[in-house]
Amino acid sequence: MQGFIPPDGTVASASSTYGGKTPDKAIDSNLESFWNSNGYQGTLEMKFPEEIHLDFVQLAASAMPRANISYKLYGLQSNSWVDISGNATRSVENYLNKTYTILDPFTVTPGKYSGIRIECTGSGTWIAINEITVGTLTPEPTAVPTATSEPTPTVTPEPTVEPTPTVTPSPTPEQPTGNRAILVVTMNTGLEKEFDLPMSEVNAFLSWYDASSGSARYGINKHDNNKGPFTSRKDYVIIDRILTFSVDEYSAE
């Protein structure tokens, strides 16, 4: 249910009562207990210990059998009961099928009230109210902030001039000259390694390969492929991983 149970100190009374179903059962925070009017009509009153601002009232009610019940709400202002809702009809389900029915909230004339009165009229069923909650839709006023003195503005320092970055020149690529060759080494994995080398380096590779009883690996200078701050880069090949190789000679003037 929406809203809240009327505050401690609220006094509940009724036009009539059946058995132990007294009016205080309607504000005991227990939906299983209820006030019973012992008839098809009844009035339930509550007087608060102090004024409460209200926008709506909500009821949980019971009936047997299912019935349409008319409700009319009054608010207590300056010791007078004033109509704050007009007549409103709600359907209350059979108590045997559903212990209680939570009704849609009754919108009331917004205002501060010292109490509420609920007049109930039905036909063919006794009047019973399991629980009552009340509430407000009016937000609390926003506190106005206390004016404070303006702070002394801080002097913004002049921005520091960023130094002009020094451009690092790109290395000049090696210019091939003389007798050269394209050495293509095909590994047994199918990977091809291609090198543009002077004939002196190609011959050194061939000598190493022919002397297969020597070192198992051979480093080939990558020359133009040398990128970055390296003094040299070499690509090492393993003799028993070489499937084939080719040498395409040319002359670079």
Q: Which domains does the chain have, with CATH numbers?
A: 11-135 (2.60.120.260), 178-252 (no CATH)
pLDDT at 196 over 60: yes
Tokens at 202, concatenated: 């190609």
Which residues in the chain belong to E strands, given as ranges? 11-14, 35-36, 41-62, 67-77, 80-92, 101-102, 106-121, 128-135, 178-187, 192-198, 217-221, 234-238, 242-252
Distance set, CA 251 to CA 116, 136, 194, 199, 202 (Å): 111, 98, 17, 10, 14
Determine the pLDDT at residue 124.
Answer: 81
pLDDT band at 81 (very low <50, low <70, confident <90, very high): very high
Sequence-separated (6 or more) residues with CB below 8 Å from residue 132? 5, 6, 26, 27, 44, 46, 57, 58, 59, 60, 118
pLDDT band at 95 (very low <50, low <70, confident <90, very high): confident
Determine the pLDDT at residue 89.
Answer: 92
Determine the pLDDT at residue 112.
Answer: 95
* Cβ proximity of 223 and 181 under 8 Å: no
pLDDT at 225 over 60: no
Between 152 and 196, name the one with better pLDDT.
Answer: 196
Quick one: what percent of the chain has pLDDT higher than 70?
83
Determine the pLDDT at residue 197.
Answer: 84
pLDDT band at 72 (very low <50, low <70, confident <90, very high): very high
Residue 65: is the preceding peptide bond cis (ω within 30°)? yes
Indicate whether this model's pTM tops 0.75: no
Determine the pLDDT at residue 205.
Answer: 85
pLDDT band at 138 (very low <50, low <70, confident <90, very high): low
Sequence-separated (6 or more) residues with CB below 8 Å from residue 69? 61, 63, 89, 90, 92, 120, 121, 122, 125, 127
- Of 15, 57, 59, nearest in space to 38 by CA: 15
Residues 37-70: tens digit of each pLDDT: 988 999 999 999 999 999 999 999 998 888 899 9
